[in-house]
C-alpha cells in the first residue's frame, strides 16, 4: 500500500481530510499530531489503512528520525498534507520571541523538513506525488492580531511555489489551500461578536465549510489535479 501523510489529524479539518482520503480507498493515511484524541480513536477503530503517530511538530530537528524510524517502515509515500498549525494571536507590539519561534517551528520549519523527506521518498521509489499545504486567508488580507501568524502562512506559500518549480520535472506537485475562518479549535477563542464581524467580511456571510476545504485537498492529491501545481486556492466564503 502507498501512503499519504496528514499532519494535525486530531483537529476538525485534519480528521475531515483523513476521512475523505480513506473514503476514496486508494491510499492509506499516516496521521501525525501530538497526542491521541476521540477523533483519532474513532478513525483508528473504523479504518485498517490509517496509522497514527504521536509526534510534536515543534521538534523539527527530530523529523529525520521520525521519517527514518517510523514513516519509512510503513511503505511508499505519494502525498503529504501539511495541515498542523499553531496560531499566536496578538498585535506586533506585544510580540513574544519564544512564541513566534514555536509558531514558526510548527507552521513553517516542520512542513519544510517533512516536505524534504517526502520528496526524497518519492524520488527513491520513482513516484509522482502531491504535496498540499494548508495556508490561511490571513496571508492575503489583514486581520488585527494575526500579523505574525499570517507571516508563517505567507512563508509556506512562497515555499510551495518554489518547490513546485523545483520538482515538477519529476511529476511532483505542490499547492496551497487557503481557507477562511472555520469553526475549528484555532478559532474557538473568538467571541461570537468577533466571529460575526469576520463573517460579515465575506460574500456568503458565513464560516468557511470544513468539508469544502477537505474535498479540495483530496482533489489536489488526486490524479484529476495532475496539471495543477504552484497554485494557491482560496476557500474563504468570498473574502478575497
pLDDT interval class at 4 (50, 70, 90): very high
Cell numbers standing for residue 205: 456571510
pLDDT of residue 106: 98
pLDDT digits (tens, 9 = 90+) for 54-97: 999 999 999 999 999 999 999 999 999 999 999 999 999 999 99
138 vs 185, residue with greater confidence = 138
d(CA 129, CA 75) in angstroms, rounded, equals 14
Structural domain boundaries enclosing 198: 3-235
pLDDT of residue 83: 98
Residue 169 has pLDDT above 80, yes or no: yes
pLDDT interval class at 205 (50, 70, 90): confident
pLDDT digits (tens, 9 = 90+) for 24-62: 999 999 999 998 898 899 888 889 999 999 999 999 999
- Name the maximum alpha-carbon separation found in the chain: 51
In a domain, 29, yes or no: yes
pLDDT interval class at 12 (50, 70, 90): very high
In a domain, 240, yes or no: no
pLDDT of residue 189: 64
Q: Are 203 and 238 in contact, with CB atoms under 8 Å apart?
A: yes
pLDDT of residue 198: 77
pLDDT interval class at 202 (50, 70, 90): confident
Q: Are 182 and 172 in contact, with CB atoms under 8 Å apart?
A: no
pLDDT of residue 186: 59
pLDDT of residue 35: 87
pLDDT interval class at 195 (50, 70, 90): confident
pLDDT interval class at 142 (50, 70, 90): confident
pLDDT of residue 240: 66
Q: Are 116 and 67 in contact, with CB atoms under 8 Å apart?
A: no
Q: Are 68 and 91 in contact, with CB atoms under 8 Å apart?
A: no
Point out the least confidently predicted range of 11-25, 57-71, 105-119, 192-206. 192-206
Q: What is the mean pLDDT of residues 148-176?
A: 98
In a domain, 211, yes or no: yes
For position 30, which CATH number holds? Answer: 3.40.50.720
Name the domain count of the chain. 1
Q: What is the mean pLDDT of residues 186-191?
A: 64
Q: Are 229 and 164 in contact, with CB atoms under 8 Å apart?
A: yes
What distances in angstroms separate CA 58 from CA 83, 103, 146, 191, one per listed residue? 14, 8, 20, 28
Amino acid at each position: 500500500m502507498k501512503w499519504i501523510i496528514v499532519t494535525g489529524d486530531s483537529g476538525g479539518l485534519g480528521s475531515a481530510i483523513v476521512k475523505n482520503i480513506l473514503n476514496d480507498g486508494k491510499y492509506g493515511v499516516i496521521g501525525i499530531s501530538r497526542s491521541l484524541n476521540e477523533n483519532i480513536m474513532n478513525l483508528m477503530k473504523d479504518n485498517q489503512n490509517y496509522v497514527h503517530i504521536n509526534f510534536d511538530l515543534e521538534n523539527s530537528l527530530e523529523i529525520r528520525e521520525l521519517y527514518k524510524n517510523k514513516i519509512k517502515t510503513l511503505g511508499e509515500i505519494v502525498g503529504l498534507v501539511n495541515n498542523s498549525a499553531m496560531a499566536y494571536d496578538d498585535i506586533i507590539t506585544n510580540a513574544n520571541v519564544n512564541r513566534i519561534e514555536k509558531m514558526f517551528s510548527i507552521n513553517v520549519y516542520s512542513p519544510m523538513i517533512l516536505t524534504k523527506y517526502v520528496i526524497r521518498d518519492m524520488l527513491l521509489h520513482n513516484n509522482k506525488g502531491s504535496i498540499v499545504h494548508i495556508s490561511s486567508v490571513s496571508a492575503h488580507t489583514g486581520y488585527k492580531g494575526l500579523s505574525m501568524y499570517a507571516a508563517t502562512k505567507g512563508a509556506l506559500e512562497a515555499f510551495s511555489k518554489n518547490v513546485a518549480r523545483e520538482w515538477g520535472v519529476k511529476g511532483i506537485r505542490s499547492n496551497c489551500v487557503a481557507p477562511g475562518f472555520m469553526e475549528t479549535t484555532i478559532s474557538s477563542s473568538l467571541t461570537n461578536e468577533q466571529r460575526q464581524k469576520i463573517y460579515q467580511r465575506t460574500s456568503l456571510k458565513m464560516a468557511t465549510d470544513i468539508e469544502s476545504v477537505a474535498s479540495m485537498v483530496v482533489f489536489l492529491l488526486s490524479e484529476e489535479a495532475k496539471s495543477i501545481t504552484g497554485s494557491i486556492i482560496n476557500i474563504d466564503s468570498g473574502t478575497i
